[in-house]
Amino acid sequence: MNKLRRLGGLVIVATASSAILGALAGGAGATVRPADQPHFFGPRQAVFVQTDDPTGNTIVTYDRGPAGGSLSYVSSTPTSGLGGVLPGSVVDHLASQGSLAYDADDSLLLTVNAGSNTVSVFSVWGDRLTLRQVVGSGGSFPVSVAVHGDLAYVLNAVNGGSIQGYFVGDDGLTPVPAWNRALDLGTTSTSAFTSTPGQVAFSPNGNQVIVTTKNSTNAIDVFNLGPFGTPAATPVVNPEPGDVPFAVAFNGAGQMLVTEAGPNAVESFWLYPNGTLAPVATLATGQTATCWIAGPSYGSLFFASNAGSASLTGMRSFGGPVVTASTTSTDPGTVDAAVSSDGQYLYAQTGGNGIVDEFHINFDGSLTEVGSVIVPNAQGGEGIVAS
């Protein structure tokens, strides 16, 4: 059967893709999905948490309660890779956002194995995971992965940093060696966890790949994508002197929200087709180590994680100013977070003790605590997604 796929703004017929992929990827293969493997997310709503355990990385699965949002343990699934710990890290061993990503189109869960320089790909059926593939990250110490349509990019954090691009299919990832770009980032401090890049992300239309460099170069790098998803040879560099840009999200107006660990703030930007950024508004959180940001896909309500203050800052942003909605305490070391697909619940990883805090999101942007779970072997871990 022919299947139409969108690749970097073009539509091609997948019947010819085997030859194309083989030529581009140098014969890289992927494990084949059985014919009876379910192809959609399934009825159970789940939360997946990465442990980033350096002795053996694991995805811990929880069912999300239909009435109240509380989590119940389901399983722990090895990734067949190792987690990693950046020098200088305490509660956030990867110092990144997006180390775990869910591809709803192909029912795939992608996770980085920083200690093994690999990416693991799982097929998803509700709260069930099946390991389909382990593929090289194209660099050293992968910390973030992003998916858009039939494209994926992985961010490698050390040895100057790099991004690696892939085609995405039902069976997993096909790396394209020609889509590897060195970031040439230097180390500007003795602590690697502050000077390694923070996240790789796609623009809403999938035509650009964004990388935050934290205090290595204090910049937001934008790679414009050409035909089929080929990245530009060099990025457009948007300097943010002293701001330490860490993580990004997009609101419903198409603006990019960036957490800035230097001033402990969230700043909004317009992202232009040529890769340049125009600042719009800034919100100071009044907290410490404002690094991560989560919210419903392209909505108006977002939550920034403040690792040093053990808190979440709720905010509203939709084309104008960024306005504070709430400040909520968490367990120690607030790091990565995820909002459920229905927009009703927020799940925040806290790396101090490896706990996920559970909250109901109220209409006014405040949070009501639902409960918490201790994730096995997840102290300092990062990476969480919610269905």
Q: Are 107 and 123 in contact (CB under 8 A)?
A: yes
Going by pLDDT thresholds of 50, 70 and 90, the confidence category of residue 23 is very low
In this prediction, residues 30-51 reach a mean pLDDT of: 56
In this prediction, residues 169-183 reach a mean pLDDT of: 94
For 39-386, the fitting CATH number among 2.40.10.10, 2.130.10.10, 1.10.3720.10, 3.40.50.10190 is 2.130.10.10
For the chain, percent of residues with pLDDT exceeding 70:
88
- Which one has a higher pLDDT value, 38 or 279? 279
Q: Which two tokens stand for residue 235?
A: 């990025």
Give the Cα separation of 330 and 334 in Å (integer): 7
Q: Are 332 and 310 in contact (CB under 8 A)?
A: yes
Q: State residue 189's pLDDT score.
A: 59
Q: State residue 299's pLDDT score.
A: 84
Amino acid making up residue 230: T
Nearest 10 degrees: CA dihedral of 343, 345, 346, 349? -130
Q: State residue 39's pLDDT score.
A: 32
| Domain layout of the chain by residue ranges | 39-386
Q: Shortest CA distance to 327 belongs to which of 354, 309, 347?
A: 309
Q: State residue 255's pLDDT score.
A: 95
Digit-coded pLDDT (tens) for 123-159: 999 999 999 999 999 999 999 999 999 999 999 999 9
DSSP letters for 122-176:
EEEETTEEEEEEEEE-SSSSEEEEEEETTEEEEEE-STT-EEEEEEEETTEEEEE
DSSP letters for 225-256:
B-GGGPBPSSPEEEE-TTT-EEEEEE-TTSPE
pTM listed for this prediction: 0.88
Going by pLDDT thresholds of 50, 70 and 90, the confidence category of residue 5 is very low
Quote the mean pLDDT of the chain. Answer: 88
